[in-house]
Amino acid sequence: MRSAIAILAVLSGSAHADLNWSVHVGGGMEGGGGARIVKAVRPDGVMEAGMIVEYINTNGNAGIGASVEAVGRLTPRFEDAEEIKADGMFRWAGDDRRFRFGVGAGIRLLTPRDGKAIQGYDLIRLDMSGVLASWKMAPAMPQMSFEGYVSWTFGCYSDSYDGERIGDMKPARHDIGCVDSITSTYVVGLRTTVSWR
C-alpha cells in the first residue's frame, strides 16, 4: 500500500493531476460459502472502514487507485477477529468529478480469534460514490467533499486452518478452497474525500 501511495504521489506532481484520498465507513450484508469458515447462518451483517487513494488524469476520466479496508462481522465467532482487504483498481470519474467508479481485485486476510490468518482473494470489487457536498477553505487548499458510497465485493478463501481445540486433543486441520468459500458482500456508507487538482 505504501508503494501505491508513493506512485500516486509522484503522478500527482505531473501536469493535469487529480489526486484523491478518501476515508469511508459503512455497513451491509455478506452471504455465501464463507459460512463454512464462520459456521453461522448466512447472510451476516458487516461493518467496514477503510481508505482509497486514486489518481485520475484530468485530460480524461480514467485512472488508477488502491484501497485498504478493515471488516467486522456480527457473527460471535469473529467478535475478536479482524479481516483486512487490499485491492488495486481501475478508476473512472465523471467530467465534473461528482461521481466516481472503481473496478478491481485484490487479497484479503481473515483472522479468527481461535486460529491463524486465513488468506483469500477479492476476485471482483466494484464501488461507486457521489458527492453530497463539497467546499474549499481557501483557493490554494485542497477541496473537501462529503459523499455517499456503495460497494460490492465477490471473493473467496483458499488456505488451511486449525479447528477449535478440544481438551488435550490436537486441533483438526481444515482445508478451504475457493469453490467452497465464495462470498459476496454489499456495503453502503459515507465517504470524506480530500482532492488535489
Domain ranges across the chain: 2-163+170-196
The residue that leads in pLDDT, 162 or 47, is: 47
Query: For residue 14, is pLDDT > 50?
Result: no
Q: Which three cell numbers stand for residue 66?
A: 488502491
Pairwise CA distance, residues 73 & 85, whole Å:
14
- pLDDT band of 115, cuts 50, 70, 90: low
- pLDDT band of 197, cuts 50, 70, 90: confident
- pLDDT band of 83, cuts 50, 70, 90: confident
DSSP one-letter code for 8: H
Query: For residue 48, is pLDDT > 90?
Result: yes
Provide the pLDDT for residue 7: 47
Listed residue (83, 68, 164, 82) closest to 120, CA to CA: 83
CB 156 within 8 A of CB 184: no
Provide the pLDDT for residue 153: 95
CA dihedral 146, 196, 24, 131 (to 10 degrees): 30
CB 96 within 8 A of CB 88: no
Pairwise CA distance, residues 73 & 81, whole Å:
9
Cβ atoms within 10 Å, residue 17: 18
For the segment 42-67, the average pLDDT, to the nearest whole number, is 89
CATH 2.60.40 fits 2-163+170-196, yes or no: no
